[in-house]
Amino acid sequence: TLAQKDGYRFFMEKEIYEQSRVMSETMMGRVLDKGIEFEELSNDFFNGINAIKICACGTSYHSALAAAYLFERIAKIRCDVEIASEFRYKEPLLTQDTLFITISQSGETADTLEALKMAKGAGLKSLSICNVDNSSIVRESDAAILTRAGIEKGVASTKAFATQTMVLWMLALYVGQQKNSVPTELLAREINAMLHTPKALIVTDTLHTKLHRLSKRYLHGHGFFFIGRDIFYPLALEGALKLKEISYLHAEGYPAGEMKHGPIALADSELFTIALMPKSMHYEKIKSNVEELSARDATICAISSVPFDLADDFIKTQYDSHPMLEFFEMMVVTQLLALEISVRLGNDVDMPRNLAKSVTVE
């Protein structure tokens, strides 16, 4: 298996390092100078569609949450997101002007598949974003966009999440184009940022070494809070999920502005806060949220391109010209942090206890 891991210690590690390369695959033939193209979608695919509902589980659900911000902001289309196992039993009100999107790495998750069948039963048009061609979810959908991440072996999803989020970002721009709601300037800005994404995903030795060293200070404590705002809130959820999955430490993702409504009561030096502080998105707002936590003596690990005086640990990022570049760069940081903590604790990174790669039963 060493060969398969190409010299990496774990599949998860290999897959983190692969992200830069597979992202180019994900964009190939789709991100063009003039805009986004999806040969999978007919030109009239979005005719009559006024809203989007996304359904998914686990990590795929987190990419959906990030996408909801992008669909409303870029495409100006209403978008809501539901956990598949909740959606199935809530007797949802569905209207046929809603496109039903499912997101799934495997294409076999039982809850997501059943949610899709339900939406189809209600007459909704469906689109899946999936990593496995010809999977059940792909076959069941009216159209499918493949993420092209390649086989993902680590149970803790990394490159699948990255490529799902990229497809959703592209799709938001695509819908905007179709609806003529994207100003030329915005289009150029988004395309330019997309083309820079593979660069933001490169793992440098400096970063990996830094996270390896830093991880030894985060092996105990009474819990982690990953905090962020806007699209960095779903990223905080995903960062916390990665850590939970492979370190078995308690971690939560939380919207930074919501900490004062309860969780800040937990703050003391044993509370580890992983603060996602993007320069290009609500920086002053997140900064003041982190300052409040620091004033209560929480231990702060700040991830930002902007030096932050109150941080106990500071991880400097480089690509801060666009929120999505910051998103992807910070994603890599949280993945590697979880990996290094898990390794130090002696856990099985690729096969964490109690978890399965694909959950085909309810």
Between residues 157 and 305, which has the closer beta carbon with respect to ligand G6P?
157
Cβ partners under 8 Å of residue 225, min gap 6? 240, 251, 252, 253, 254, 259, 263, 266, 271, 272, 273, 274, 298
Binding residues for ligand G6P, total number by CB under 6 A:
16
Measured distance CA(254)–CA(256) in Å, rounded: 6
Q: Which stretch binds ligand G6P (CB under 6 A): 13-21, 205-213, 341-349, 354-362?
A: 354-362
From 59, 98, 136, 247, residue interacting with ligand G6P (rule: CB under 6 A): 59
104 lines the binding site for ligand G6P (CB under 6 A): yes
The burial of 303, by beta-carbon neighbours within 10 Å (0-12 exposed, 13-18 middle, 19 or more buried), is given as buried
Q: How far is the CB of 105 from ligand G6P (least distance, A)?
A: 4
Measured distance CA(37)–CA(122) in Å, rounded: 29
Which residue number is nearest to ligand G6P in terms of Cβ? Answer: 58
165 lines the binding site for ligand G6P (CB under 6 A): no
H and E: helices and strands count for the chain: 11, 12
Catalytic hit among 5, 179, 285, 357: 357
355 lines the binding site for ligand G6P (CB under 6 A): yes
**CA 274 to chain CA mean position, Å:** 16
Between residues 57 and 171, which has the closer beta carbon with respect to ligand G6P?
57
357 catalytically annotated = yes
Structure tokens at 132: 């496995």
**Edge to edge, what strands does the sheet with 223-228 contain?**
251-255, 223-228, 271-276, 299-304, 313-316
Specify the pairing of strand 143-146 against strand 98-104: unpaired
Q: How far is the CB of 54 from ligand G6P (least distance, A)?
A: 12
Q: How far is the CB of 226 from ligand G6P (least distance, A)?
A: 17
From 20, 26, 85, 106, residue interacting with ligand G6P (rule: CB under 6 A): 106
SS3 338: helix
154 lines the binding site for ligand G6P (CB under 6 A): no
**300 has which bridge partners?**
273
From 19, 26, 60, 304, residue interacting with ligand G6P (rule: CB under 6 A): 60
Q: Which stretch binds ligand G6P (CB under 6 A): 42-50, 70-78, 258-266, 350-358?
A: 350-358
Active site residues: 357
- Name the site residues for ligand G6P (rule: CB under 6 A): 57-60, 104-106, 109, 112, 155, 157, 355-359
